[in-house]
Amino acid sequence: MRPAGETKRGVIAMILGGALFVINDALVKLATETMPLGELLVVRGLFAIACVLALIFGYGNIRHISSAAKPIVLLRAAFEFLVSLCYVTAISQLPIGDLTTIMQATPIIMTILCAVLRIELVDWPRWMAVLIGFGGVLLIAQPGGSNFTLYTLSALASASFVALRDLVTRQIKASVPPAVVILTTTIFASCGGLILGLTETWHMPTDFEFVLLFGAAIIVTIANSLMVTAYRCADVSILSPLRYLVVLWAAIMGFFVFGEVPIGISALGAALIVGGGLYTGYHERARNKRGQAQSGAAA
């Protein structure tokens, strides 16, 4: 069991980190109103690289910088590259609340991938949770309806790539500092902006655009650091339900900043996704407890 004070720090870090991620999304969404997407990724990426390098030097991890070139780290960065392209494309047009909720389908997608790739066995309760969560995604995306666009597909693709990225992250050894992993993924995401920029007309960013992207870079760097702190201080079973607070933060941000009011069917879809994800976390926690009890009895 972890000390209560350590767990409390982890919980606080998780809550603050989720809120900061939503603030980052809001700043990026504001910037997409006047900036080409590729230029946005590059400018924010340069700021973010500077922030991450400051973290690496601050934590004394410069001697581990060569770890950034490890194949498994580069593979994770490649998925992050795809995540960034799809996410920024989606956030430019979708309501921030809907996009954030669709992204919460990641654990559900990960469960499907684990079953398809035979990484682990998936029992019927988890399949039920997957079906419930998938139903929520359908309610928000509304395939075949007027709300289902290329940007909706882009959001679903981003959630899928996040699941693949997280599966790869599990294979990265603890000896590789998180800041070094973040540096590699930030560089790859910036390269994605350069590729998009081949078809765009760039302009010198205004002072306001610089402020938005510099603020987003600082905030997302702090948010990533808080997430690392959270998972180091508290058990995953405690933190998993807290991840869904970002749906609430996004709804609040969408209402007060962008005037977005979720319609009934989207709210129902959000409830199904959150419910399916929470049950998946609860089921996983119960299974881990049973495994620990059996190991203790065997010993």
- Parts of the chain with a pLDDT under 50: none
d(CA 101, CA 246) in angstroms, rounded, equals 8
Residue 128: which residues within 8 A CB-CB, separation 6 or more?
Answer: 279
At 269 the pLDDT is 76
Q: Are 120 and 291 in contact (CB under 8 A)?
A: no
At 279 the pLDDT is 72
d(CA 125, CA 279) in angstroms, rounded, equals 9
d(CA 41, CA 26) in angstroms, rounded, equals 15
Q: What Å distances lie between residue 244 and 12, 102, 113, CA to CA?
A: 14, 11, 21
Q: What Å distances lie between residue 125 and 131, 237, 268, 276, CA to CA?
A: 10, 17, 21, 10
d(CA 249, CA 20) in angstroms, rounded, equals 9
d(CA 254, CA 21) in angstroms, rounded, equals 13
At 178 the pLDDT is 82
Of 296, 299, 279, the closest CA to residue 107 belongs to: 279
Q: What's the pTM value of the predicted model, to 2 decimals? A: 0.78
Residue 206 DSSP code = P
d(CA 230, CA 20) in angstroms, rounded, equals 14
At 285 the pLDDT is 63
Of 224, 242, 296, the closest CA to residue 21 belongs to: 224
Token pair recorded at residue 78 = 């490649």
Amino acid at 234: A
At 282 the pLDDT is 67
Length of the chain in residues, anyone? 299
At 50 the pLDDT is 94
Q: Tell me how crowded residue 238 is: count the other CB atoms within 10 A of its CB.
A: 17
At 162 the pLDDT is 86
SS3 216: helix
Domain assignments of the chain as residue spans, ordered by start: 1-35+207-262
At 100 the pLDDT is 84
Q: Are 96 and 258 in contact (CB under 8 A)?
A: yes
